[in-house]
Structure 1
Amino acid sequence: MTNNPSENHYKKIANIYDNLWSYSPEYIKFTTEKIIEHLHLTPTDILVDIGCGTGIYSKEILNQTQLQQPIICVDPSAEMLEKIPTNSLLNPIKMDGVEFSQKPGTYNKIFLKEAIHYIEEKFLLFQNLWQKLTPGGIFLLLLLPPTIEYPLFTKALDLYEQKQPHYQELINLLQKVGFLVDFDIIDYPLKLPKIQYFQMVENRYMFLLSEFNDTELAAGLKEMEEKYQDNSVLKFSDRMIFITATKPEYN
């Protein structure tokens, strides 16, 4: 999450990000429930959301919990952070994850959802977060699996598989730092009107899609149209890996 093409991508889609990525209110609520569960959130926790985007999950966490301290929302995109409501319960910080992890501060709980593939210095990030967490603190890392079942075009799926880090490699790094690590695989069945999903792809809702120019994207959409010509609704599973890294109680 340094200054790279991803920042330009999110600058372009900031105004429509929530519509692109929310799938449905039920999806956001379900995923947030799982985040709260895996973080073992308590009202007194100091929580950090790294790569928060528009704060879509932090906002829902506030709907479901009674945190006493504001959630620290970290993201390198000023345009995305501008979409976070200006209230005392969300504290937006414009910074990439590694830079933030190098700043002073102590926290009980940290989560990072679907942003680890932007970070090159993963081991450094994990080492720094270890230092920031209190004993017994939890770092929750959420990412998609090595392969996905999304109804995308072939070249997009191939590119995804080339770029997506494998969760086992991340588990190994976290264990090397000293975390006690567990992981969970959670499926959420999605059912979207084809026209809605195609518009999401056309708007490059995944950063991955920004690597295709307009001609390539049009060809991909044509391939998708041919493949799903008999479907008005697309059904697929959103599978998420939840990696729970706990700092042991001992010093």
Structure 2
Amino acid sequence: MTLHPDDLAAHYERLADDFEESWAHSPAFVTWMNRCIGIRLALRPGDRAADIGCGSGLYARSMAEHAVTVVCVDPSTKMLAKLPTRPSLVPVRASIEDLAEGAVQLPHAGRLDAVLAKDVIHHARDVPMALRTLAALLAPGGRLVIVTWPLRIDYPLFGKAVEQHERAYIDPDDMARVLTDCGLRVEVTCERYHLSIAKEQWLAWVANRFMSLLCAFDDDELAEGLTEIDARYPGPVIEFEGRFVFTCASGQEDVSRG
């Protein structure tokens, strides 16, 4: 399911106050993810970067430790309000659809050295157009990192939610073909991280529809799903493997410079 941009913005507006509690439940996980992203973005002093779908800036903050500027893009005003007040973090209220359709122009568009798009590409109604838009943001030699889930996920969700994810799945090989056609070199890799979460907390997050895919279900369907999860994981703690796909694209350096 792809949410309408207005519905997507409303979804994250509602989640903004508790967003970091749910996604940053483990500081070690955030540190690990920032390391995975940082290795691939290879930010250097003086680089200009962007975090598309930045949320409250969990990953943009780390990027700003290396880049001179990080353009922080999100459709939620409340999410952007969570960003630290730093000259290096430049908030822009926009969805990936706004960028693809040209409704919003980013600072340094076409001259960005690094672009991160984590958990955002599935929100695009026209994925190839969104990918071409992201590619066009890059300077010569720029790096693009797209983070998604694999087709088969181990997250403790109910069966219908897993099926919903699989229906909406975007194949990294398809993304790679589009980005290759944009003149970029592409590499797809997968990383995994072991997660451990109190079941009570996890059920509360699911009940709050902390993942956008859960917006596909009404209250009755969600209640049934919560019962299913509760029965499948009888103990007080849920443990599972979080797996993440990194589609990394890079452009050719401009040999005419210098």
Taking structure 2 as the reference length, the TM-score comes to 0.90
Gap regions ≥5 residues in structure 2: none
Q: Measure how far apart 1:209 and its partner are.
A: 0.9
Give the length in aligned residue pairs: 247
The answer (yes or no) to whether the contact 1:111–1:141 under 8 Å persists in 2 is yes
The one-letter code sitting in structure 2 at the alignment partner of 1:216 is E
The answer (yes or no) to whether the contact 2:132–2:178 under 8 Å persists in 1 is no
Deviates more, 1:127-136 or 1:47-56: 127-136
Aligned to 1:56: 58
Matched, 1:192 2:191: no
Aligned to 2:82: 83
CA distance in 2, matches of 1:214, 1:129: 36
State the Cα RMSD in Å: 1.7
The answer (yes or no) to whether the contact 2:56–2:80 under 8 Å persists in 1 is yes
Match of 1:8 among 7, 10, 24: 10
Match of 1:239 among 237, 243, 246: 243
SS in 1 for 2:29: helix
Aligned to 1:203: 208
Aligned to 1:66: 66
CA distance in 2, matches of 1:120, 1:212: 19
SS in 2 for 1:56: coil
- Tell me the percent identity: 30
Taking structure 1 as the reference length, the TM-score comes to 0.92
CA distance in 1, matches of 2:136, 2:237: 47
The answer (yes or no) to whether the contact 1:28–1:60 under 8 Å persists in 2 is no
Matched, 1:140 2:145: yes
Aligned to 1:36: 38
Q: Measure how far apart 1:39 and its partner are.
A: 0.8
The answer (yes or no) to whether the contact 1:187–1:240 under 8 Å persists in 2 is yes
Note the alpha carbon deviations across 1:8-61, whole angstroms, 9 max, x for none. Answer: 211111111111112311111110011110011111110100011111111233
Which 4+ runs in 1 deviate beyond 6 A? none
The answer (yes or no) to whether the contact 2:97–2:125 under 8 Å persists in 1 is no
CA distance in 1, matches of 2:74, 2:17: 15
Q: Measure how far apart 1:176 and its partner are.
A: 1.7
Note the alpha carbon deviations across 1:82-126, whole angstroms, 9 max, x for none. Answer: 111222121110012243364263211111001000012322233
Gap regions ≥5 residues in structure 1: none
The answer (yes or no) to whether the contact 2:55–2:80 under 8 Å persists in 1 is yes
The answer (yes or no) to whether the contact 1:29–1:60 under 8 Å persists in 2 is no
Query: Where in structure 2 are the equivalents of 1:162-241 lying within 5 Å?
Result: 162-229=167-234, 231-241=235-245
Q: Measure how far apart 1:247 and its partner are.
A: 0.9
Aligned to 1:158: 163
Q: Measure how far apart 1:66 and its partner are.
A: 3.4
Q: Measure how far apart 1:217 and its partner are.
A: 0.9
Deviates more, 1:147-156 or 1:118-127: 118-127
